[in-house]
Amino acid sequence: MRLIPLRPILAVSLLAGALTAASAQAQDLEAGQRSFNKCRACHQIGEGARNLVGPQLNGLIGRHSGSAEGYAYSAANKNSGLTWDEATFTDYIKDPKAKIPGTKMIFAGIKNEKEIADLIAFLKQYDKDGKKL
């Protein structure tokens, strides 16, 4: 009986796992892009994005609330003291008016945790200049 060396099996397993993770990541970004369609009426993202009814969302994760240049935020949003990280955005997008009472954002929210995670993955791929990371 011939034994198969463990190293090639381990390498194949790691490669398969990496490919599966990359595939799941791509699916999350696609789902996040579809979710962003709910935001598109008021927000833009990417190169050339500008403020509309809502501020452009380039570089959102890590940005302070009320700080997108050229957008007229509500006092509630400017004075909220929030920095957008994944947890804060997740809380906010579930019910914007509950997280920041007095916000101008009129949106019922997204309740599904998976959809929120996908949306965050989509948003995170854009830096402050709208370039994909």
> Which of 18-22, 57-61, 65-69 is least confident?
18-22
* Averaged pLDDT of the chain: 87
What is the pLDDT at residue 5? Answer: 57
Domain CATH code at residue 11:
1.10.760.10
pLDDT tens across 93-112, in order? 999 999 999 999 999 999 99
Residue whose structure tokens are 């190293």: 7
Domain assignment of residue 132, yes or no: no
Quick one: 81 exposed, middle or buried, by C-beta within 10 A (0-12, 13-18, 19+)? exposed
What is the pLDDT at residue 38? Answer: 97
Domain assignment of residue 1, yes or no: no
Q: Kindly report the pTM of this predicted structure.
A: 0.80
Domain count across the chain: 1
